[in-house]
Chain A
Amino acid sequence: MGKGNLFVNGIDADKAIVLGNEAIARGALEAGIGYASMYPGTPASEIIAVLDKNKKYIENLYTEFSLNEHISLHGAIGASWSGIRSLCAMKNVGLNVASEPAQFLAYTGVKAGLVLAIGSDPGAPSSSNEQDDRWYSLHTFMPVLEPSNIQEAKDFTKNSFDVSEEFSFGIVVMAPSRLCHNAGTLYFGDLRDRSNIKGNFKKDPENYLNLFGMAVKNHAKFLERSELLKKFLAKSDFNKIINGGRSKTGFISSGVIYAHLMEALDVLGVDDHKILKLGFTFPLSEELFKEFFKGLDEILIIEEAEGFLEFQIKKIAYELGFKGRIYGKEFFKRTGELTLDGVMTGISRFLEKPLPAYFDFAVRKDKELSGKLPQRSGTFCIGCPHRATFYSILKAVGFSNANGKERDVVIAGDIGCYTLGLLPPYSAMDFLTCMNAGLGIGQAISIFDKKKKVIALVGDSTFYHSGIPVLINAVRNNADVLYIILDNSWTAMTGHQGTPSTQKDAFGIATGNAINLKDLVKTLGVSYIKSIDPNSVRRFASQIKSALKEPGVKVLIAKRECVLQEIRRNKILKKNENGISGTGESLYEIQKNRCVKCNECFTELACPAIILKKGVQGEENYYYIDPASCVKCGVCYEVCPNSAIRKVEFDLRPEFKLIEKKIDEELSEVPANI
């Protein structure tokens, strides 16, 4: 094996700054996993990405970016049954897709340890909902483990493989985005010997053939195993009781919220209370609570979302005959992220202890100001083909922001980078929920509202995830929808994992088995199908117009690679050729004297490289293409109705050098989302 880095080679007592996600991955590595997979999703993506990136240095590690979460979890189960410790990761909503294998896992049990790492997203900064996946365990019976910090993310993950094997459950390791994307100190542990990671599937019909009476038997078996696990958890180190002083009030919390709690108590100067820190938040051990309740007459549960712990603990308290009061959601909100501020405020209200003056002042100041500030939302990268797609669609069906009148075309949104098209200035989506909801919902709308045309959008990664049956369904049932597949060849938003459309990787090496999307769609029964370069906006817009006139399911494939990947590859290739750049240089420029400020490029297309410059010495403000940002996609050139934008070919302007460096910087921080 090659050299690698600390993530790969670090041994006991080494330390480094790592991301929560990387700590989870490292824990799994220390536990000797041989399988790791996921369908990429923020905030969990780095868990598998870091393993995938380093696998050339790691003996006997298989990694996979699966087409969806259902496949990914099944893969982990297959590996486990072959005697290979396996890690599967996904974002919170991924479990909806993987809920079927998750429902069966308790019945069949595992062979080698299996961990399902879930990145939850309270406040939904990168998701279309903020579901709390812990509730699933009330019926899947998968134990749930919640690390509070980077160190626990590693240690808990590592140790949970033993628990998984001993009690034959897949273990859920839950990490909210605050932990996934927390970067802090991690002390490494030792790695297991990896040379003997070899699969051997041993038949086990009693457990693996799960139907009829056998399923019922397996049901009874896992309920029994769950009871045994509870006994184990009454004594294990995963849960901790911190004894207090004289106070008869106790606090219960878990995960990152526990970290907020400890900081809040420190800031408020409170250290008299008994505290229960839960590592495992499912199942809960009655014995542990018997111990904790001793001497208390009041309990406060500090947790996020709807109150999964409170729901369970009140039941346990009733059964144990606890006479005190139990509080929770009266003091902490059910929606949005529960922040450190939120915990401090709740504790202060509960204990009737005032918050520090600086805190109150800052909160007030923020409230005063925040309403007055211009909102800022993300937008497509400069040169992104999705911008051209939305411009073309709106050109064909009308900009709603231009005149405020309602469009008579329904635009169905879906999940991916292009989701940003729902934001201003495009405002080009009428609904957005989950993966592949666009065409499914759009199909029915097309059947029941004949007055409106329906356009459904989908990205290539989302289409391959679960869109194929949706498209077949639309075709078979004579839907009247224009389906636009925005094929940029990558799962771009989560850090550029490949899709079946990916033809060349970032180094220019052919993947060899890329799918021809047009052929595939044709095979599914679509007869109206065209592939088009979205950057040819005029042609694309007229194509959309004529497609909308046709009956049935029409498919347009907007095919152009994600601009970031294209630039990245060109840079790498250029470097390999010793910096010799073959092409003549060019620049796009707005000619002040021709521009009439019609705003077509500035507000409708809204490429961020086009900026408003202050005129000097009485001169009017003017539009200007910032050469340091422009990636020369040429779309604005095509958009300008007044031929005010021109392409200049020339040698070397001093500002030209900026372009490459700026791109360097952009690439060093590839955004991750949804």
Chain B
Amino acid sequence: MKKFNIAIIGLGGQGIITMGTVMKNAALSSDLRDVSGSERRGGAQREGYVETFVKYIFYENRSEMSDPRKNMHSPMIESGGANALISLEPLETLRGIRYLNGNSTVIFNMTPYIPVSVRMNKTEYPEISFIVSELEKITENIFYYDFDKISIENFNSLTQKNIVALGALFAKTDIPIHTSAIEKILASGKGAKDNLRAFDIGLKL
């Protein structure tokens, strides 16, 4: 049995849950594959922290699939247990640090959304360089882009930033899912044309 764990984090309204759903649907094409992962929706008002996990499970054979010691999976990822972390908000990346280990890949978005505490002058928003240096203490595989800007430049809209980030995930990690599986799902959903293009832009980053 092999596993590949992805933590996706960001804020309510950024399309985090959609990303998770697209990725999970990509697991359906094989019978020896399972997928689990909870979403943190509660507390997901505007600008609140949201996270969703995608855990791919690859069974070696049928008997493993029916083994009760193998076929039950937590909806959560343990500390240090993520193969990849995608964060759509820079500061939140640091809150996701708990999922990282030395081999994890981090992909994060550079556009900040300023929390109320900073607005009220109670705390300061960390610089991107600080975020990167904290991440570097854990892993070398760090990639960051301004997904908001990329989305606006290409689509005149913020809607596609999550799918661009999804493309980046496939470009920068050895995720054992074929890009065509994602493309098939995007092609059958709403806004297929834009989403396929966004995914491709991400793949080329």
Residues of chain A at the chain B interface (Cβ within 8 Å): 15-17, 42-43, 121, 125-127, 148-150, 177-179, 181-185, 240, 242, 256, 258-260, 262-267, 271, 277, 339-341, 344, 356, 358-359, 361-363, 365-366, 369-370, 373-382, 384, 401, 417, 420, 423-425, 493, 602-603, 606, 608, 611-612, 628, 654, 657-658, 661-662, 664-666, 668-669, 671-673
Contact = CB atoms under 8 A, between A and B. Distances in A.
Contacts of B80: 356, 358-359, 361-363
B119 interface: yes
Contact of B72 (A258, A417, A665, A669): A258
Contacts of A423: 116
Interface in B73-113: 73-81, 91-92, 94-95, 97-102, 113
Given A178-B38, A361-B138, A378-B43, 19 more contacts: A125-B43, A182-B37, A242-B69, A256-B74, A358-B80, A358-B81, A359-B81, A363-B79, A369-B134, A373-B91, A374-B124, A375-B123, A376-B48, A377-B115, A378-B45, A417-B45, A606-B116, A608-B113, A673-B44
Central interface residue in B52, B75, B158, B159, by most chain A CB within 10 Å: B75
Nearest to B72: A262
Interface residues of B, number: 76
Contacts of B46: 378-382, 384, 608, 671
B95 A370 contact: yes
B91 A671 contact: no
Which 10 A-B residue pairings sit nearest by Cβ, starting from the closest?
A378-B48, A126-B42, A378-B45, A362-B80, A661-B157, A125-B42, A366-B98, A263-B74, A374-B123, A358-B80
A43 B76 contact: no
A365 B101 CA distance: 10
Given A43-B41, A671-B48, A672-B44, A16 B28 contact: yes
A282 to B, nearest CB: 22
B79 A359 contact: yes
A182 B100 contact: no
Given A16-B28, A184-B36, A602-B119, A668 B15 contact: yes
A522 to B, nearest CB: 33
Given A184-B34, A185-B35, A361-B101, A259 B119 contact: no
Contacts, number: 260
A356 B81 CA distance: 10
A665 B45 CA distance: 14
Contacts of B38: 177-179, 181-183
A376 B37 contact: no
A376 B79 contact: no
B91 A374 contact: yes
A661 B34 CA distance: 34
B167 interface: no
Contact of B78 (A359, A658, A666, A673): A359
A184 B37 contact: yes
B46 to A, nearest CB: 5
B47 interface: yes
Given A17-B28, A341-B78, A365-B138, A379 B45 contact: yes
Contacts of A661: 155-159
A185 B48 contact: no
B154 interface: no
Nearest to A184: B36
Nearest to B70: A266
A373 B37 contact: no
Given A149-B72, A266-B70, A374 B45 contact: no
B47 A378 contact: yes
B101 A362 contact: yes
B20 interface: yes
B159 A373 contact: no
B200 interface: no
Nearest to A45: B41
Contact of B41 (A271, A384, A672): A672
B27 interface: yes
A339 B76 CA distance: 8
A28 to B, nearest CB: 21
Nearest to B54: A183
A149 to B, nearest CB: 7
A661 B91 CA distance: 25
A42 B91 contact: no
A122 B117 CA distance: 26
Given A242-B68, A262-B73, A628 B158 contact: yes
Nearest to A17: B24
A672 B122 CA distance: 28
Contact of A185 (B34, B49, B78): B34
Given A42-B42, A664-B159, A669 B75 contact: no
B25 interface: yes
Contacts of B12: 378, 669, 671
Contacts of A665: 13, 15, 157-159
B189 to A, nearest CB: 11
Contacts of A375: 115, 117, 123
A662 B157 contact: yes
A183 B20 contact: yes
A83 B185 CA distance: 42
A356 B101 CA distance: 11
20 contacts: A126-B43, A179-B75, A181-B38, A182-B38, A256-B74, A258-B72, A356-B80, A362-B79, A362-B80, A373-B94, A374-B125, A377-B48, A382-B46, A384-B46, A401-B120, A665-B157, A669-B17, A671-B46, A672-B42, A673-B42
Nearest to A270: B69
Contacts of B77: 340
Contacts of B70: 266
Contact of B100 (A266, A362, A669): A362
Nearest to B22: A17
B21 interface: yes
B177 interface: no
B128 interface: no
A604 B70 CA distance: 54
A668 B195 CA distance: 15
A671 B101 contact: no
Contacts of A183: 20-21, 24, 37-39, 52
A365 B97 contact: yes
B152 A658 contact: yes
Nearest to B33: A185
Contacts of B62: none
Nearest to B12: A671
A239 to B, nearest CB: 13
A376 B47 contact: yes
B18 interface: yes
Contacts of B115: 374-377
A262 B69 contact: yes
Contacts of A359: 78-81
Given A149-B72, A181-B38, A363-B79, A379 B98 contact: no
Contacts of A260: 74, 76
B168 to A, nearest CB: 19
A424 B95 contact: no
Contacts of B40: 125, 181
Central interface residue in B35, B69, B74, B77, by most chain A CB within 10 Å: B74
